[in-house]
Amino acid sequence: MNKKLAVIGGSGIYKLDGIKLNAQKDVETPFGHPSAAVMEMEVEGASFYFLPRHGIGHHTSPSEVNYRANIYALKSLGVDTIVSISAVGSLQEQYAPRDFVLPDQFIDWTKGLRKRTFFDEGMVGHVSTAYPIEKSLQSRIYEICSEARVKTHLGGSYVCIEGPQFSSRAESQIYRSFGASIIGMTNVPEAYLAKEAGIAYATIAMVTDYDCWKDEHCEVSEIMSIMKDNYVSAQKVVTKLIPSLVKKPISFVPENKYAVITDPSKLTDRHKKILEVVLK
């Protein structure tokens, strides 16, 4: 079992059809339970982990996802590379529904409701999120998307809002004025926690609609149809991407080694347990 690669699935990616499920692991963490049991899966002899971000059946809202437990659980299983799959809205004309976008930056527009760091409760640590996406992983994903003939845009900024409501039209125009490319509700603090845990992280953002800035009325049935098409495209990409990453892992340097600045004598047993996993 290759324990280094994981896929976190978002809206429309509740399971990976046609991929073998070998086992499920219920993982306990100092931060509570992850969204669901972590699935050990396999495609073309390549093993990886899969975690449905919103739980099986999509019962957990973006604000209620236990991001710390999800990332900690995967790191405790030996994961050092995460591919995030997420549904997003487009903030720019060139990113059309059914296109994929591979962002390299995030803009955090959440409301402070989410637990966003492993370093708290008497332990202080700082990790740079200047480059939250691992470039070598992003490049590999782009290469595979091209091979799978999925229209994909390389680069851009992802605005993460709190949700679960979608934006007002005024808000959507503000986000466009930032020069942001796409909008979603889940990749922060997920990406930042991965950075704290020394995990390479990259997002496959699947465009479902033009948010609400564009003068187009989009029926729910149409969005569901687009999500279904995106799911098919994601299947094509994932079944090629997993074997590629397992057979030829990316190379990267974690940036969390010297994160903690708290005097070691002040660290509790809980702190030490967390650091044993996060910094290993």
- Calpha distance 152→82 (Å, rounded): 19
Of 80, 108, 209, 263, the catalytic one is 209
- Residues 250, 135: Cα–Cα separation, whole Å: 10
Cα separation, 244 vs 246, whole angstroms: 6
Alpha-carbon distance 47 to 79, whole Å? 12
* Catalytically annotated residue among 17, 26, 211, 263: 211
The two tokens of residue 34 are 């992850």
Q: Are strands 152-154 and 100-102 parallel, antiparallel or unpaired?
A: parallel
Three-state DSSP state, 17 = coil
Q: Give the C-alpha separation, 70 to 8, whole Å.
A: 9
Residues 65, 186: contact at Cβ < 8 Å? yes
Judge whether 209 counts as a catalytic residue: yes
Distance, CA of 30 to CA of 218 (rounded, Å) = 42
For residue 59, what are the CA distances in angstroms to 25, 36, 53, 56, 86?
Answer: 19, 11, 10, 7, 16
Active-site amino acid positions: 209, 211
